[in-house]
Structure 1
Amino acid sequence: MANVRNRVVVDGDACPVKSEIARTVRSVGATALMVSSHAHVLTPEPSVQVVTVDASDQSADLYIANVLTKSDILVTGDYGLAALGLARGAAVLTPRGKEIRENDIEGLLEQRHFSARQRRGGMRTKGPKPFTEEDRDRFQQKLTTLLREMQENLDR
């Protein structure tokens, strides 16, 4: 295995799969960087670095955008941050295990904008479905696959 270790960068404030990320990175020899605001206390553990930023609206996103590299996997449910991650060349994975690709992001951002306009106009929009164990399993499987694929590419 190469000396370069893959890194998973996590938008940690609302991430429901932090423990799955920690287990997965340890099992494949990668690392994780979890970024959150002071309002969400995270504990560092082996292979998991924690960075705490101030509580302003976009602090975690800005920090992540500045440290993200093309050899990282970004875990976020924020489509704006996902777009920044893709622009930096990172792989992007939602906490439900869906990989977001370049050809997906424009439609996702348009849907986000449309829903926000509806809410500002007084309409109610549906929130996300409840998070399930199947979502956790799908996420962990996809993260493991991405990390292994990235490591194989580094080893070539």
Structure 2
Amino acid sequence: MSRPILIYIDADACPVKAEIYKVAERHGLKTFVVANSFMQVPRDPMIERVIVPGGMNVADDWIAERAVEGDIVVTSDVPLADRAIKAGADVIAPNGRPFTEASIGMALATRNLMEDLRSAGAITGGPRPFSPRDRSAFLSALDLAIVRLKRRGFGAATT
């Protein structure tokens, strides 16, 4: 019996939760919606709401302590993505961009540079608005990650 694929959502600012729920249901995957405040989730035994205490990186820590090879983490938080990749999980940003071992170093460097610029008073403009194209790219990336994990022997959850 293969280990089930689990999906962890860094949910506080995730714009693709509804899409994740649909894809997870189609594939029979357990999904954890992790946030530091109450959030509506569908009434489904395969979707679990996890409310963590408030505080810096508490939701990230909860996810990073559990995500392992065969799991999928959905986050735009680069340090969390780095931790999840090091644990062997597949990581996808809500815009569909996969974080990988090959790309995470540059993503961390860019994040740190932008943080330094902002702390020095530079106006950096922030991320571009989320678009339908981002949503579509995310759905493709999520399906691809699930198919790739199933080929590697991971599977659906058993209820």
TM-score bracket, shorter-length normalisation: over 0.9
Structure 1: segments with no counterpart, 5+ residues: none
Q: Is the 1:5–1:29 contact (alpha carbons within 8 Å) kept by the matching residues of 2? A: no
After TM superposition, give the deviation of residue 114 of structure 1 in Å: 0.8
Q: Deviations over 1:2-33 (max 9, x none)?
A: 66431111101110000000000011121211
After TM superposition, give the deviation of residue 44 of structure 1 in Å: 4.6
Partner residue in 1 for 2:71: 72
Partner residue in 1 for 2:51: 52
Aligned partners of 2:147, 2:112: CA distance in 1, in Å? 34
Amino acid aligned to 1:124: I
Q: How many residues align?
A: 154
Runs of 4+ in structure 1 over 6 Å off: none
Paired-residue identity, % = 29
After TM superposition, give the deviation of residue 79 of structure 1 in Å: 0.5
Amino acid aligned to 1:72: D
Of Structure 1 and Structure 2, the greater helix share is in 1
Aligned partners of 2:135, 2:95: CA distance in 1, in Å? 7
Aligned partners of 1:100, 1:137: CA distance in 2, in Å? 17
Aligned partners of 1:92, 1:62: CA distance in 2, in Å? 15
Structure 2: segments with no counterpart, 5+ residues: 155-159
Q: Deviations over 1:74-124 (max 9, x none)?
A: 100000000000110001100001111111111111111111111111111
After TM superposition, give the deviation of residue 34 of structure 1 in Å: 1.0
TM norm structure 1: 0.92
Tell me the secondary structure at the aligned position of residue 103 of structure 1: coil
Amino acid aligned to 1:11: D
Q: Taking structure 1 as reference, are residues 71 and 37 closer, same or farther at Cα in structure 2, changes over 3 Å only?
A: same
Q: Is the 1:9–1:74 contact (alpha carbons within 8 Å) kept by the matching residues of 2? A: yes
Higher relative contact order (CA 8 A, sep 6+): 2
Partner residue in 1 for 2:39: 41
Q: Is the 2:12–2:35 contact (alpha carbons within 8 Å) kept by the matching residues of 1? A: yes
